[in-house]
């Protein structure tokens, strides 16, 4: 009985923290149809601003809160200025990718300034607890609840009764009409970002105090939770976001109570998928209602692909094949092996996101499936490594397609959110399915690469394995693009409604594309597993998904050669300059931002 009340209180408190994130996301989505993926980074920045105030300036709590609000509001306005306004009129997914880039930059800046180590954020409130029945409620609990519900009430008053609030609602309903009636929609955007960011930052401060713990890696989960809460309530629906947050908090808390804390996120993401599949417009919309925005148009900039002379491709390929013949280059070979493995992943993603137009943000999940499948087949069933890798590719093709299947009826942003959720679920299932995956311990002692009796574990041989597999898959993909399937895939990407009007069944071809992509990604993950000899549920993080997407955009969506060059540029170049990990992520974020702003068609253009 004790626990039940405590779990409820805990759920409501966490729900109030999500609330501060979700109402901001809902406001931003309302006026600009943008999912702000930098929201979690603002939350992190808010926590660190608060920590700095308390640690260096010894400010009392009200002052700390005021500084956090002001600092994050400014940051929000800056994000609007950099990430959104210059991209007005470009493809709708462009600002979303820009906010992903901004979140990389902010997270890495926080990490560079404050170090990646966690810090304690002490709670300055008096240490008393109120006994309710057999549970207790502390001062901080009450403060968080008051701030959460108070902000929601203030926001309601603002939107309902102030002139600027009216302008915000008018812009949300019809931006062009609002502008014609004299509403300064840029000012509205700025205001909305300022309010949303201030609330997000405050949320970070409060959560830091609640757990007495902050670290720079906390932002991604915060974004995801805010997005999940918002999807539950309906995208852009502010009251819905309030309800969705509290519901999410409670469900997580009861889930933890019943199954243990490693299940917390699993509940959140399964809930996300269930809502997306059953009620993509949120719990409060009628299910037959079409989405408020068609959300068509992926990140495809009209462009003519740049044709690289065949002789040059052949020449570079031969040079790459001959590279291991040079002496004393073990380090370079290791780097390049890594490049080729990433290039296989990028091939997979460029097919799914570029050729078919389904922007997947969960591709690392496919790597994980392939890696675990191959490792476990080789270790537990004693299947030869070469065979295990191929089997892992097939398993990934089947499993990956089956997982994404429910999301096929979704379009635009919703596909990205769903794939993001699926990617997270894969990691969490691996973490929790201990009997199969060995849970948090991970899988060690994975046999090295070999084919029959030939050991392939020297740097040169591993390099050749990765390169030859890459060349084979790349040739197949080029052939695929020239066939009727390539044409069909690209037609679905450019206009799925017109494609259906000519007899193209969308599900069939999306399934096929994900199966082909899943095979390639699975192979890449499997080879990685045998190279590393140890993997766990965190080996393939969602950062890898974003990194792969950056490679794909860099090379040109759907462009096979582009994907390979993109991988080489993003993995090879930072390695060449011996950039440390923090700076590397910073480079990726800045690259993504610059590309989307200045060269959305990438190096070689969309195919």
* Min CB(488)–other proteins separation in Å: 7
User: Do the Cβ atoms of 35 and 29 come closer than 8 Å?
Assistant: yes
Is the CB of 70 or the CB of 506 nearer to other proteins?
506
Q: Given the complex with other proteins, which of 189 and 401 has the nearer CB atom? A: 401
> Where on the chain is the footprint of other proteins (CB under 8 A)?
300, 302-304, 476, 479-480, 483-488, 490-491, 493-495, 497-506, 508, 511-512, 515-516, 606-607
Cβ-based nearer residue to other proteins, 212 or 483: 483
Beta strands per DSSP E along 82-228: 129-132, 135-138
Least distance between other proteins and beta carbon 497 (Å):
7
Nearest distance from C-beta of residue 350 to other proteins, angstroms:
14
Least gap, CB of 493 to other proteins (angstroms): 8
Distance between CA atoms of residues 79 and 20, nearest Å:
18
Give the Cα separation of 526 and 538 in Å (integer).
15
Task: For other proteins, give the closer residue by CB, 257 or 291.
Answer: 291
Strand partners, 450: 455
- Least distance from other proteins to the Cβ atom of residue 355, Å: 10
Q: How far apart are CA 607 and CA 601, in angstroms?
A: 9
SS3 137: strand
The distance of closest approach from Cβ of residue 484 to other proteins in the complex, given in angstroms and rounded to an integer, is 6
Three-state DSSP at 68 gives: helix
501/66 Cα distance (integer angstroms): 56
CB of 498 to other proteins, least distance (A): 4
Taking residue 420's Cβ as centre, other Cβ atoms within 10 Å add up to 27
189 vs 488, beta carbon nearer other proteins: 488
The residue (of 194 and 513) whose beta carbon lies closer to other proteins is: 513
Give SS3 for 283. Answer: coil
Task: Give the pair of three-digit tokens for residue 70.
Answer: 């002001």
In whole angstroms, give the CA distance from residue 523 to residue 328. 28
Is residue 300 helix, strand or coil? coil
Q: Which is nearer to other proteins, 58 or 500 (CB)?
A: 500
Among 33, 560, 584, which residue's Cα sits nearest to residue 293? 33
d(CA 127, CA 143): 13
CB 204 within 8 A of CB 47: yes
Alpha-carbon dihedral 42, 23, 86, 191, rounded to 10 degrees: -90
For the CB of residue 351, give the shortest distance to other proteins in the complex, in Å. Answer: 12
From 548, 601, 76, 571, select the one nearest 347 (Cα to Cα): 548
* Residue closer to other proteins (CB basis): 144 or 552: 552
Q: What angle do CA 446, 322, 516 make, to 5 degrees?
A: 55
Toward other proteins, which CB reaches closer, 164 or 506?
A: 506
Residue with tokens 């060059």: 565
Shortest reach from residue 282's CB to other proteins, in Å: 18
Give the Å distances, CA to CA, from 50 to 40, 123, 126, 209, 508. Answer: 15, 11, 18, 10, 51
- Closest to other proteins by CB, 321 vs 515, is 515
Q: Rounded to an integer, what distance in angstroms lies between the CA atom of residue 44 and that of residue 205?
A: 8
Given the complex with other proteins, which of 415 and 491 has the nearer CB atom? 491
359 neighbors 596 (Cβ within 8 angstroms): no
Name the minimum Å distance from CB 482 to other proteins.
9
Shortest reach from residue 480's CB to other proteins, in Å: 6
């Amino acid at each position: 009985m004790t626990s039940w009340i405590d779990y409820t209180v805990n759920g409501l408190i966490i729900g109030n923290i999500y609330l501060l994130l979700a109402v901001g996301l809902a406001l931003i989505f309302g006026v600009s149809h943008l999912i702000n993926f930098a929201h979690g980074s603002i939350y992190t920045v808010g926590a660190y601003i608060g920590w700095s105030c308390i640690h260096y300036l010894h400010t009392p709590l009200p002052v700390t809160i005021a500084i956090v609000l002001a600092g994050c509001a400014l940051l929000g306005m800056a994000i609007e200025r950099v990430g959104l306004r210059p991209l007005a009129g470009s493809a709708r997914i462009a600002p979303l990718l820009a906010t992903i880039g901004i979140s990389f930059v902010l997270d890495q800046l926080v990490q560079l300034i404050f170090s990646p180590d966690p810090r304690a954020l002490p709670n300055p409130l008096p240490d008393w607890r109120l006994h309710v029945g057999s549970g207790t409620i502390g001062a901080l609990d009450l403060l968080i609840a008051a701030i959460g519900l108070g902000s929601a009430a203030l926001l309601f008053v603002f939107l309902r009764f102030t002139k600027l609030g009216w302008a915000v609602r008018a812009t949300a309903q019809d931006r062009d009409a609002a502008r014609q009636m004299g509403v300064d929609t840029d000012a509205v955007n700025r205001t909305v970002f300022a309010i949303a960011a201030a609330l997000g930052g405050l949320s970070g401060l409060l959560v830091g105090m609640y757990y007495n713990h902050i670290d720079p890696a906390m932002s991604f989960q915060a974004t995801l939770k805010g997005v999940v809460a918002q999807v539950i309530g309906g995208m852009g629906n502010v009251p819905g976001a309030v309800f969705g947050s509290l519901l999410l908090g409670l469900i997580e808390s009861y889930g933890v109570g019943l199954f243990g804390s490693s299940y917390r996120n699993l509940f959140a993401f399964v809930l996300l998928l269930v809502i997306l599949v059953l009620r993509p417009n949120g719990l409060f919309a009628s299910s037959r209602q079409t989405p408020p925005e068609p959300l068509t148009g992926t990140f495809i900039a009209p462009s003519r692909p740049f044709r690289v002379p065949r002789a040059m491709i052949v020449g570079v390929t031969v040079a790459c094949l001959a590279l291991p013949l040079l002496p004393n280059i073990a380090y370079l070979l290791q780097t390049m092996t890594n490049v080729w493995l990433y290039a296989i992943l990028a091939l997979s993603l460029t097919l799914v996101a570029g050729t078919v137009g389904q922007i997947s943000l969960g591709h690392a999940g496919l790597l994980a499936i392939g890696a675990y499948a191959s490792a476990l087949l080789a270790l537990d069933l004693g299947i030869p490594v070469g065979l295990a890798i191929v089997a892992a590719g097939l398993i990934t093709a089947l499993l990956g397609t089956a997982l994404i299947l429910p999301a096929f009826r979704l379009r635009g942003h919703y596909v990205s959110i769903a794939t993001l959720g699926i990617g997270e679920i894969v990691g969490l299932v691996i973490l929790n399915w201990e009997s199969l995956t060995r849970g948090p311990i991970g899988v060690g002692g994975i046999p090295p690469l070999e084919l029959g009796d030939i050991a392939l574990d020297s740097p040169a041989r591993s390099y050749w394995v990765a390169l030859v597999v890459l060349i084979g898959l790349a040739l197949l993909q080029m052939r695929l693009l020239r066939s009727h399937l390539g044409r069909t895939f690209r037609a679905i990407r450019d206009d799925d409604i017109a494609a259906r009007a000519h007899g193209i069944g969308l599900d069939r071809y999306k399934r096929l594309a994900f199966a082909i992509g899943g095979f390639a990604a699975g192979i890449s993950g499997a080879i990685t597993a045998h190279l590393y000899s140890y993997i766990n549920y965190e080996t393939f993080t969602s950062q890898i998904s974003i990194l792969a997407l950056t490679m794909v955009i860099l090379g040109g969506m759907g462009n096979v050669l582009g994907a390979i060059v993109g991988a080489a540029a993003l993995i090879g170049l930072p390695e060449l300059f011996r950039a440390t990990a923090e700076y590397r992520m910073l480079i990726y974020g800045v690259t993504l931002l610059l590309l989307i702003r200045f060269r959305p068609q990438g190096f070689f253009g969309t195919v």
